[in-house]
C-alpha cells in the first residue's frame, strides 16, 4: 500500500481537514495535519454531507496517526521516526517528544516506503500509568532468514505527562516482534479493545501478488505465522505478552495463539466503534480490483489470498478473477464477508465508482458536528493514480435494516473543493471528532 505524498490531519472541533503543506519532500512527501468535519449544506436522501477542510498543523513529513491525550493535547506519529506533540493552543512543538530514528530499519528517503513508525496507542489507564504503545519497523533480527527485510516491533514506553511532555526512549519494553520478508504490507495499526487487550493488524508479508515468501498460498491463510492476521494480546505483564484465555486459538494447537482473525492482506487502519456494539473495523488494501472495509470477527477468515472483496483472487493474473469464487477456507470454514467494498482504479480505470487505489481506514463517526454521519464509517483512499497527489474522502453508510452491504460514496467537499494531496491516516479526538 503506497505511502507517498502530502496529507496530514489536525483539528478544530467541528471540521474535517486534509491539506498539503509546503514542506520539502522527505521520505514520502510533505504533510500537514487537519481533519474536522463541518456541515456546509443540507443533506439530501442521495448525497453525502458536504464538508469543509481546515488546516490544523504543518511542518510534518508523513503523519500517520493523531492520538488525543486526556488533557486536550495530541500526539502525532510522523513516519520517519518521530512522535510530535500538538499543544492545547494548536501549536506543534518544535522538538519531538520521542525520536526513534536510531532504532528503525533503513528507509528509502526521498522515495516510496511503507516502513518507519507506524502507530501509537495509549493504555486505557494512561492517566494513571502513563503507558504508551508504539509499532515500528526495526532492522532484521539475526534469527530471521538472511534474505528477509525487517522486523515489525510492538513496544511499550513510559511518558512523563508534565511540562514538557516527553516519552523516555530508555523505558522501552519489547512486547512482540514479527519477522518481515519484504518492506511492504507491514500493518502495525493498533487499538485497545473494551476489555483492555491490545489488537494489532499485521500485513501478509508483501511482494508481487503477495506471496510473502510463501508462493503456494501466501500467509493470510497460514495459521502457523502471524503475517496476514489481526492479533490480540494481553500486555499487562512485566515483559513480552500473555495470551488471553478466550482467544480463538489460545491453546496453540491449531494456530498461533495470538491470532484473533486471519485472511488479511494489508490492514491500513484499525479502530473500535466507541458507540453502538463497539465493533472492530479494519480497512484492507486490495491488490488490483477491490478495496475492503471489514468488521473483524473472532476466529474469522476474512478471505485473503483466496478472495479479494467478493471475488476469487487469481495470483497468476491479479486483474482476472478466478471463474469460480472459493466458498470456504482451507479447513471448510465460511468466510467473513466485508461490510463495504469499492472498486480499485487499477482494475476499473474508467469506472466512476472506482474511487482510488488504496483504502485508508478511519473511524465510525460518533462526534456531534455532523449528526447526519452518526454511526457511519468515515475513511478515505490514498490516491486515484499512482504518484499523483489527490486522495478521496469516503463514507460507508450502514444499511437501513438488516445485515446487507454498506453503501460507499465520496464525501462532498466545500472549501477546498478537493483533496490536493495523498490521504495516509485518520485520527479521533476525545469527543469523537475526526482528524
As beta bridge partners, residue 412 has 50
Looking at residue 217, its pLDDT comes to 83
Q: For strand 259-262 and strand 229-233, is the pairing parallel, antiparallel, or unpaired?
A: antiparallel
Closest CA to 295 of 358, 343, 361: 361
Q: How far is the C-alpha of 229 from the C-alpha of 209, rounded, in Å?
A: 17
Q: What is the CATH number of domain 56-407?
A: 2.120.10.30
Place of cell 508534565: 162
Handedness of CA 300, 303, 309, 312 (dihedral sign): negative
Query: Which three three-digit cell numbers place residue 233?
Result: 494480546
Looking at residue 167, its pLDDT comes to 98
Looking at residue 291, its pLDDT comes to 98
Cα 122 off chain centre by = 16
Q: What is the residue-level pLDDT of the chain in tens, covering all 435 positions?
A: 434 333 333 332 222 233 332 221 122 233 455 544 443 333 333 466 788 888 899 999 999 999 999 999 999 999 999 999 999 999 999 999 999 999 999 998 777 899 999 999 999 999 999 999 999 999 999 999 999 999 999 999 999 988 899 999 999 999 999 999 999 999 999 999 999 999 999 999 998 777 888 887 889 999 999 999 999 999 999 999 999 999 999 999 999 999 999 999 999 999 999 999 999 999 999 999 999 999 999 999 999 999 999 999 999 999 999 999 999 999 999 999 999 999 999 999 999 999 999 999 999 999 999 999 999 999 999 999 888 889 999 999 999 888 888 999 999 887 667 788 899 999 999 999 999
pTM: 0.91
Looking at residue 403, its pLDDT comes to 83
Q: How far is the C-alpha of 2 from the C-alpha of 285, rounded, in Å?
A: 10
Give the domain ranges of the chain.
Answer: 56-407
Amino acid at each position: 500500500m503506497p505511502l507517498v505524498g502530502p496529507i496530514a490531519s489536525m483539528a478544530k472541533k467541528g471540521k474535517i481537514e486534509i491539506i498539503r503543506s509546503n514542506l520539502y519532500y522527505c521520505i514520502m512527501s510533505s504533510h500537514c495535519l487537519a481533519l474536522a468535519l463541518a456541515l456546509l449544506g443540507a443533506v439530501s436522501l442521495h448525497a453525502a454531507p458536504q464538508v469543509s477542510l481546515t488546516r490544523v498543523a504543518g511542518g510534518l513529513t508523513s503523519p500517520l496517526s493523531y492520538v488525543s491525550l486526556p488533557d486536550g493535547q495530541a500526539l502525532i506519529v510522523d513516519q520517519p521516526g518521530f512522535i510530535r506533540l500538538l499543544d492545547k493552543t494548536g501549536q506543534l512543538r518544535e522538538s519531538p517528544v520521542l525520536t526513534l530514528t536510531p532504532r528503525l530499519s533503513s528507509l528509502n528517503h526521498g522515495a516510496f516506503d511503507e516502513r518507519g513508525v507506524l502507530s501509537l496507542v495509549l493504555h486505557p489507564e494512561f492517566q494513571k500509568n502513563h503507558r504508551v504503545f508504539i509499532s515500528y519497523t526495526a532492522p532484521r533480527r539475526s534469527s530471521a532468514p538472511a534474505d528477509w527485510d525487517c522486523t515489525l516491533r510492538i513496544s511499550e514506553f513510559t511518558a512523563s505527562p508534565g511540562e514538557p511532555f516527553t516519552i523516555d526512549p530508555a523505558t522501552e519494553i519489547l512486547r512482540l516482534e514479527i519477522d518481515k520478508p519484504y518492506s511492504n504490507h507491514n500493518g502495525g495499526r493498533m487499538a485497545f479493545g473494551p476489555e483492555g487487550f491490545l489488537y494489532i493488524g499485521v500485513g501478509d508479508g508483501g511482494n508481487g501478488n503477495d506471496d510473502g515468501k510463501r508462493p503456494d498460498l501466501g500467509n493470510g491463510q497460514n495459521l502457523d505465522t502471524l503475517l496476514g492476521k489481526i492479533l490480540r494480546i494481553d500486555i499487562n505483564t512485566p515483559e513480552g505478552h500473555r495470551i488471553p484465555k478466550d482467544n480463538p486459538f489460545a491453546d496453540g494447537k491449531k494456530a498461533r495463539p495470538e491470532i484473533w482473525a486471519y485472511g488479511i492482506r494489508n490492514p491500513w487502519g484499525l479502530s473500535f466503534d466507541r458507540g453502538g456494539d463497539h465493533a472492530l473495523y479494519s480497512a484492507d488494501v486490495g491488490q488490483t480490483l477491490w478495496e475492503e472495509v471489514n468488521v473483524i470477527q473472532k476466529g474469522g477468515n476474512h478471505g485473503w489470498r483466496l478472495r479479494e472483496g467478493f471475488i476469487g483472487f487469481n495470483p497468476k493474473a491479479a486483474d482476472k478473477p478466478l471463474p469460480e469464487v472459493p466458498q470456504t477456507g482451507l479447513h471448510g470454514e465460511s468466510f467473513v464477508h466485508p461490510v463495504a467494498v469499492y472498486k480499485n482504479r487499477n482494475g476499473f480505470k474508467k469506472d466512476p465508482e472506482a474511487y482510488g487505489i488504496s483504502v485508508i481506514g478511519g473511524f465510525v463517526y460518533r462526534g456531534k458536528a455532523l449528526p447526519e454521519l452518526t454511526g457511519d464509517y468515515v475513511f478515505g483512499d490514498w490516491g486515484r493514480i499512482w504518484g499523483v497527489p489527490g486522495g478521496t474522502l469516503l463514507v460507508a453508510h450502514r444499511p437501513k435494516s438488516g445485515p446487507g452491504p454498506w453503501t460507499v460514496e465520496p464525501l462532498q467537499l466545500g472549501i477546498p473543493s478537493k483533496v490536493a494531496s495523498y490521504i495516509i491516516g485518520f485520527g479521533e479526538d476525545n469527543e469523537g471528532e475526526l482528524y
